[in-house]
Structure 1
Amino acid sequence: MQIPSQFEIKELMKVREGPCISIFMFVSSREGETQQNPIRLRELIREAEQSMPLKLSTPTRREALLQPMRTLLIDDAIWQRPEEGLCLYSSPGLFRAFPLPMPVKDQVVVASHFYLKPLLPFLTNDVRFYILALSQHEVRLLEGTRYHIHEVALPEHVPVGISAALNYDKTQNIVQSHSGASEVSRGTGGKRSVIFHGQRPGITDTKKNLLRYFGQIDRGLHEFLHNKKVPLVLAGVEYLCPLYRKVNTYPHVPPQEVRGNPDKLSNKELHDRAWTLIESSLLQRQSEAVARYEEYAGTRRASHNINVILPASHYGQVDTLLIASDRELWGTFDTSANKTHVYKELRFGASDLLDVAATQTLLHDGSVYVLEHDRMPGDKLATAVFRY
């Protein structure tokens, strides 16, 4: 099992043949509590079975929906994973199980569509990004999200180092430097690092060689990155990254960089430093979305009324939606009559209306931000800015 991808979540949004069972469960890894995990899952499956009205499902149909979940009760591998949560989706002809790297509360929802709000952070906050780790000796390309990182095989035409790029013999000196103390500084571990001195002879050639090297990297990555909009974070010592930017043609390189020699950093260390930069950008976009709502609040371009937001989301009118991650608003929305009914508690056929609004907004290419309730504008459960 793998953490749900953005594609998989969007595919689940499109399922409309019920009954659709959604189960979320906290998975304990504490010593003495792990054996309770299968027991709790069995109770949640029983709750799902009892939530399905008899008139909507025959015993055979109910068993077909529940049996894939029951097989997990005896699957030792699933309980040995280090993940903190588990989510299960079952509908006629479809079953999906996903480990989650974050804790979730135990919850069962049986409705005409899947309950996806707990997964929305994977769509809105779990941004995919690349790290290009640059040094004169090595090039690494990493792909990451908030929770994971892995190394990507370099395209064929990306040189593995400056010597390969310039076809230097291994015995040749790649970068002109001098052994005198005025021209070389000692770095960590006593290794020599090059210091550039204005326009002295040889320095211009060194920069040209680095630009040729980086140009080959940029051209080699072009086919891989073509038509992508994923941020590419540069990692390298202070003087290399600006040189790479001079030849870079990929338009989604953020101004922030991971500074330092990447050859001395593990993939995890690069991931942690890069995610700090990406997360800062995400929080800034969230703040901008809140500010934009507050700018339009009280006008026809914005609303916090779920009775207004729901129809607008179905018709593709919502540009930006903010919803509370730690609250639910149970009810139904009649698309034919554009009428909303809000319930005090969960019942069969009810949906979390915040989830419905978010799903429809995303399916119509709007932006959704999932915030804790105390960070929502005006203490609202949902706010929307409309396209027109």
Structure 2
Amino acid sequence: MSGAEHLSELCTPRGTAAHVSLFLPTVRRGPQTAQNGIRWRNLLARAEVALRATAAPAEATATLDALRQVSEDEGFWRNDGSGLAVFAAPGWSRVLHTPSTLPELAAVGNRFLISPLLPSLSSAGRFLFLALDRAQSRLFLGTRFGLEEAGVHIPTGPGHASEDRRRPAERPEGFVADRGGSGRSVVFYGRGNLDRKQVEETLQYFRAIDAVLAELPNGERPPMLLAGLGYLVSQYRQVTRYREIVEDVLVTDPSQLPIEELHRRAWLQIEPQLRGDESAAAARYRQLAGTGRTAHEPGAVLAAARVGRVESLFLSSSIMATPPDSVLLLGAGARSQFDQFDRLDQFDRLDQAAAACLAHGGAVYLVAPERMPIRDECAAALLRY
């Protein structure tokens, strides 16, 4: 399931029953991984107290049963992410491992809490990273926090892992090739010591990869960064129909670098592209301020988001700061461990606004306070009309 599909699912309340949202930062490896289970049990205990105090006994028991059942699953502590998010309602649960670190937080109420997931799952700030190799290319989903496998099957290629790495880089040669069967001839660059048969095998392999990309869910077309030896990148560009490929290329042999280094280099290349949409939306907000096409008061932002008027929504990361050991109670008349009820009400409204904005095809940017398009505000909405 894609990030957009996860958010869509979580933005839709599952009836009026009690909803529980649990967020936990996790340790990937080393002796400290034992702390994951301890912190999970403590978080679950706090949620149980809040749940039994606010929900009908049968609902509370059914939701807690769903939480305990999912935590006993074999893959629950899969250590390939820095955050764990668990959502449950009577008879239903969902577990997500996120590349970004999450706050330690529990929320109980008439809906799920989604804003902690925005850095990992919203389309803003996400990109595809295609590491090209004649033997086995890999497709990753990236954010500023890291790279993770995209969860689609990339076929095996015609080459062997050692075939390309033994060869020193050589001067590319140009010849004419057809662009993906389009009938248009373009200049194709390949290596002088690759014969035409090898080139055709590689092109066929890259067409198969492109067919996988064509099957991505509707709306899941983030920008894609290519990485690979120069001649492979040139070959892939000849056949691809994925139009969201960025111009910059990471020219390297991806198989020779650890995932952390690949991510560091990829983020340096892709960040300006990803920030482009954010910067353009912020500039439009400032241009339209005072014309009726912007809003920043949480109640007004939520009202506009519910009817699909919000084109872009900026939320300050400062709103995400929560007290230690807090349990948020969402919904009318709810109380929490926040010192001020007004702050909880603001947090609740803006989380709902983010869900509504995404449900209507808008973009949500969770940014540092200094990147907000309006100073000293925790929200800024650019309206469609």
Scaled by the length of structure 2, the TM-score of the pair is: 0.72
- Is this contact kept in 2: 1:143–1:152, CA < 8 A? no
Q: List aligned pairs for 1:99-248, cutoff 5 A.
A: 99-124=97-122, 125=124, 127-133=126-132, 138=135, 140-146=137-143, 147-149=147-149, 153-155=153-155, 160-161=158-159, 191-195=167-171, 209=196, 215-217=203-205, 219-226=207-214, 228=216, 229-238=221-230, 241-242=233-234, 244-248=236-240
Tell me: higher relative CO, structure 1 or 2? Use CA pairs within 8 A at least 6 residues apart. 2
8 Å CA contact 1:140–1:151 kept in 2: the answer is: no
Shift of 1:131: 0.8
Separation (CA, whole Å) in 1 of partners of 2:238 and 2:81: 42
What RMSD, in angstroms, separates the aligned Cα atoms of the two structures? 4.3
Q: After superposition, what is the alpha-carbon deviation per residue over 1:124-156, rounded to whole angstroms, capped at 9, x for unaligned?
A: 35624141515xx65624233333136965558
CA deviation string 1:210-257 (max 9, x = no partner): 875665455444432336534443333446544653554432221010
Alignment correspondent of 1:7 = 5
1:173-192 CA-partner distances (Å, limit 9, x unpaired) = x9xxxxxxxxxxxx998x54
Match of 1:352 among 326, 341, 348: 348
Of 318-327 and 78-87, deviating more is 78-87
The equivalences for 1:25-64 within 5 A come to: 25-27=24-26, 37-52=36-51, 56-58=55-57, 60-64=58-62
2:63 is matched with which residue?
65
For 2:377, the equivalent position in structure 1 comes to 380
What's the CA shift for 1:295? 1.6
Please tell me whether the aligned partners of residues 293 and 384 of structure 2 are also in contact (alpha carbons under 8 angstroms): yes
Cα 1:258/1:109, change in 2 over 3 Å: same
Measured after TM superposition, the shift of residue 299 of structure 1 is 1.5
- 1:166 alignment partner in structure 2: none
**What is the DSSP-based 3-state SS (H/G/I as helix, E as strand, rest coil) of the residue aligned with 1:309?**
helix
1:184 match: none
Q: Which residue does 1:293 correspond to in 2?
A: 285
The 1:231–1:268 alpha-carbon spacing in structure 2 relative to 1, beyond 3 Å, is same
Counterpart of 1:312 (choices 304, 313, 320) is 304
Identify the range of structure 1 (215-224 vs 363-372) with the bigger mean alpha-carbon deviation: 215-224
Structure 1: segments with no counterpart, 5+ residues? 163-173, 175-186, 335-341
Once residues 383 and 71 of structure 1 are traced to their aligned partners in structure 2, the CA distance between those partners, rounded to angstroms, is 40
Task: In structure 2, give the amino acid aligned to 1:373.
Answer: P
Aligned-partner Cα distance in 1 for 2:98–2:39: 17
Write the letter of the residue equivalent to 1:354: L
**Contact in 2 for aligned 1:149/1:267 (Cα 8 Å):** no
Partners in 2 of 1:8 and 1:358 — Cα distance?
A: 14
- Residue 291 of structure 1 aligns to a residue whose secondary structure is helix
Task: Name the SS of the counterpart of 2:22 in structure 1.
Answer: strand
Q: Deviations over 1:295-324 (max 9, x none)?
A: 211211112122221111010111111112
Greater CA radius of gyration, 1 or 2? 1
SS state at 1:255 partner: strand
**Structure 1 residue 110 displacement after superposition:** 1.4
Quote the offset at 1:62 in angstroms: 1.4
Aligned to 1:179: none
Q: Secondary structure at the match of 2:319?
A: coil
In 2, Cα distance between equivalents of 1:241 and 1:62: 54
Q: Partner residue of 1:302?
A: 294
Q: Are 1:306 and 1:382, in contact at CA under 8 Å, matched by a contact in 2? A: yes
Residue 279 in structure 1 maps to residue 271 in structure 2? yes
TM-score, structure 1 normalization: 0.71
Larger mean Cα displacement after TM superposition, 366-375 or 215-224: 215-224
Matched, 1:85 2:86: no
The answer on whether the counterparts of 2:172 and 2:231 sit within 8 Å (CA) in structure 1 is no
In the other structure, the counterpart of 1:366 is 362
| Paired AA for residue 87 in structure 1 | A
Please tell me whether the aligned partners of residues 358 and 368 of structure 1 are also in contact (alpha carbons under 8 angstroms).
yes
| Matched AA of 1:127 | R
Cα distance in 2 between the residues matched to 1:275 and 1:328: 24
* 2:21 is the counterpart of 1:22: yes
Q: Pick closer, same or farther for the CA change 1:268–1:131 going to 2, 3 Å.
A: farther
Give ranges in structure 2 of 5+ residues lacking alignment. 176-188, 322-327, 333-339
Query: Is 2:14–2:89's contact at 8 Å kept on the other side of the alignment?
Result: no
User: 1: CA distance between counterparts of 2:79 and 2:190?
Assistant: 54
Question: 1:322-341 alignment to 2 at 5 Å?
Answer: 322-327=314-319
Give the secondary-structure state (helix, strand or coil) at the position aligned to 1:11: helix
CA separation in 2, counterparts of 1:271 and 1:302? 36
Write the distance in 2 (CA, Å) between the matches of 1:313 and 1:151: 31
Cα distance, 1:252–1:75 mapped onto 2, change above 3 Å = closer
Distance 1:151 1:235, change over 3 A: farther
Aligned-partner Cα distance in 2 for 1:198–1:8? 45
